[in-house]
């Protein structure tokens, strides 16, 4: 049974007359009447409002990039249309039309909708739950969003799938060689192999071999940033720390923009399962946890821009006393201005020193284990390198889906770096083979066919074995993602992590007047939280705690500027 079958009343709740009266106090304007068949919202339309139906009906229709159409639901009196897109003013995934007898509706733009969610706790819970469940159903039900055409083994297709799934965006895939419809599309458009993968956007536009930035613009998830607006807080990084800072800062009335180059959730968002996070005794996937925080931040009005790459922080002219803001230079010759900056960009995946590694990234070599990667290696033999908790979580997720998993660790075992519950779980998995004191030294294969195998060296024995395995997962830690700070004298430790508090005050260069704050960097008004901070505890809960903690320091700085 589908989600609609089991939770219809929660997905499409009918508000009572009292609840309708309450909601109308937050409407964008007076009710409007539309004639039968009138289009209220078009596919791809930005800043489309939600509608509370007062009379008649509003039909919600799905379209995919190939032009197919289908009715999702017909909203009657007391229903409110919309889903998570309406909270942030992004491009609409569906079309809304007036029903056969027309309709009378009250509209709620993003600002008024957020005011309703916050102003009425009862309605906020009902509507927020409905919006989240509707997005889940759009992803699961198909026929909505973009259509990808290409080969499942193409690294670019895998990359785009990962980008869309990590950002909670619905899509479908047609194999250009095996699916009849996919082959027909390629032939009809006269596409060559170099044109694939192809992205068909909901509005009908077509992109050949798009970048993540191209995809974000095409599907309408990347907002238009006003270069002259000055935010109270700019958060660089949408991982657990950055999202926590956004939630708490926005809920306390600060204007917040969050910038991330790939997806919300950071490395934690790629974790298959987190079982030691407070309050989730049965565990929760990193993506699910991050999605909740992402939706929560948007509910309170934080603006989240993905994918947006911050190339530099210009802090030479910034002055808290005179109100001259920081400038963050973005890719594409754009900029964002903010009175304060929170560095929450985490770390980038560490790459071992293997000569031809880049050739196989996305073509057999992966740095995370999402459902996309799990599907590619289903019922096959795989290898995973790493001995930390993220590696243990990935093993527990992948092992039931593959024929055999080789766990490769350079040390003598897992005890020094992995939580006990994960070690015990791995020991109970019958298809996991542990290779202690070993490391991968070379990769085999070519650019056309991807990874064919690798050499595994036993350091103690001095022997090397060739492994005919086409899927290799690397979980060997991460390095701080701080290269973009080179134009700003933010003190960093020898490893590149940002110094804060007393460590920042003891560093060469400018000393902050607010160095007493444990999260303050050496530059006044610039803070660092989460994995990127020197000396931080590399745990999701610790990152969330620092995200909440930094808001008090932000208030202190903003109050004196």
Residue 505 confidence (pLDDT) above 90 = no
Here the tokens at position 17 are 């007359």
What pLDDT score does 514 carry? 47
Residue 65 confidence (pLDDT) above 80 = no
Q: How far apart are CA 378 and CA 398, in angstroms?
A: 9
Comparing 2 with 72, the larger pLDDT belongs to 72
Residue 118 confidence (pLDDT) above 50 = yes
pLDDT grade for 253, boundaries at 50, 70 and 90: very high
Edge-to-edge strand list for the sheet holding 463-467: 438-446, 450-458, 463-467
Task: Give mean pLDDT, residues 257-277.
Answer: 88
Q: How far apart are CA 194 and CA 197, in angstroms?
A: 8
The long-range contacts involving 488-495, CB below 8 angstroms and separated by at least 24 positions, are 488/312, 488/313, 488/314, 488/315, 488/316, 488/523, 488/526, 489/315, 489/522, 489/523, 490/313, 490/315, 490/343, 490/521, 490/522, 490/523, 490/526, 490/528, 491/521, 491/522, 492/534, 493/534, 495/534
Model pLDDT for residues 75-111, shown as the tens digit of each residue: 999 999 999 999 988 999 999 999 999 999 999 999 9
Model pLDDT for residues 281-314, shown as the tens digit of each residue: 988 988 999 999 999 999 999 999 999 999 999 9
Residue 60 confidence (pLDDT) above 90 = yes
Domains of the chain: 3-141 (2.60.120.10), 146-217 (3.40.30.10), 230-348+479-560 (3.50.50.60), 357-476 (3.50.50.60)
Comparing 478 with 398, the larger pLDDT belongs to 398
What pLDDT score does 513 carry? 46
Model pLDDT for residues 374-389, shown as the tens digit of each residue: 888 999 999 999 999 8
């Amino acid at each position: 049974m589908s989600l609609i079958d089991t939770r219809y009343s929660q997905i499409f709740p009918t508000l009572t007359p009292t609840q309708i009266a309450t909601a109308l106090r937050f409407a964008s304007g007076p009710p409007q009447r539309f004639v039968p068949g009138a289009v209220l919202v078009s596919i791809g339309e930005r800043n489309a409002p939600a509608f509370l139906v007062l009379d008649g009906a509003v039909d919600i229709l799905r379209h995919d990039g190939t032009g197919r159409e289908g009715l999702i639901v017909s909203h009657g009196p007391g229903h409110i249309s919309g889903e998570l897109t309406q909270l942030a003013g992004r491009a609409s995934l569906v079309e809304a039309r007036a029903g056969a007898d027309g309709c009378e509706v009250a509209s709620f733009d993003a600002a008024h909708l957020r005011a309703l969610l916050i102003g009425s706790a009862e309605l906020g819970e009902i509507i927020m739950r409905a919006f989240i469940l509707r997005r889940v159903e759009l992803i699961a039900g198909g026929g909505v969003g973009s259509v990808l055409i290409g080969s499942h083994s193409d690294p670019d297709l895998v990359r785009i799938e990962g980008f869309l799934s990590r950002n909670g965006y619905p899509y479908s895939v047609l194999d250009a060689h095996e699916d009849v419809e996919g082959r027909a599309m390629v032939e009809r458009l006269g596409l060559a192999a170099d044109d694939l993968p192809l992205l068909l956007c909901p509005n009908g536009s077509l992109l050949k071999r798009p970048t993540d930035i191209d995809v974000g613009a095409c599907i309408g998830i990347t907002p238009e940033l006003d270069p002259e607006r000055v935010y109270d807080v700019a958060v660089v990084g949408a991982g657990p720390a950055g999202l926590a800072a956004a939630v708490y800062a926005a809920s306390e009335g600060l204007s917040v923009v969050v910038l991330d180059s790939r997806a919300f959730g950071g490395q934690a968002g790629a974790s298959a399962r987190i079982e030691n996070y407070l309050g989730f005794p049965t565990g929760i996937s990193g993506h699910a946890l991050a999605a909740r925080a992402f939706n929560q931040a948007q509910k309170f009005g934080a603006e989240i821009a993905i994918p947006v790459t911050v190339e530099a922080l210009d802090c030479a002219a910034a002055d808290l006393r005179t109100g001259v803001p920081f400038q963050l230079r973005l890719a594409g010759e754009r900029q964002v201005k903010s009175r304060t900056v929170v560095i929450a960009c985490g770390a980038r995946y560490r790459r071992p020193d293997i000569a031809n590694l880049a050739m196989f990234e996305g073509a057999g070599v992966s740095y995370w284990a999402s459902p996309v990667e799990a599907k590619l290696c289903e019922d096959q033999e795989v290898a995973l390198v790493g001995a930390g908790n993220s590696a243990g979580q990935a093993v527990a997720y992948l092992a039931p889906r593959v024929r055999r998993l080789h766990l490769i660790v350079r040390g003598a075992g897992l005890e020094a770096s992995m939580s006990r519950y994960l070690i015990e779980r791995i020991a109970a998995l019958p298809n996991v083979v542990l290779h202690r004191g070993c490391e991968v030294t070379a990769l085999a294969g070519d650019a056309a066919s991807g990874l064919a195998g690798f050499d595994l060296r036993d350091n103690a024995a001095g022997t090397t074995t060739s492994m005919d395995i086409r899927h290799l997962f690397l979980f060997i830690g991460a390095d701080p993602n701080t290269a973009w700070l080179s134009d700003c004298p933010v003190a960093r430790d020898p490893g590149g992590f940002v110094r804060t508090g007393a460590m920042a005050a003891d560093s060469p260069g400018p000393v902050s007047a607010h160095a007493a704050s444990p999260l303050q960097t050496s530059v006044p008004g610039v803070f660092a939280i989460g994995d990127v901070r020197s000396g931080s505890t590399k745990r999701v809960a610790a990152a969330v705690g620092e995200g909440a903690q930094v808001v008090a320091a932000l208030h202190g700085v903003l109050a004196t500027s």
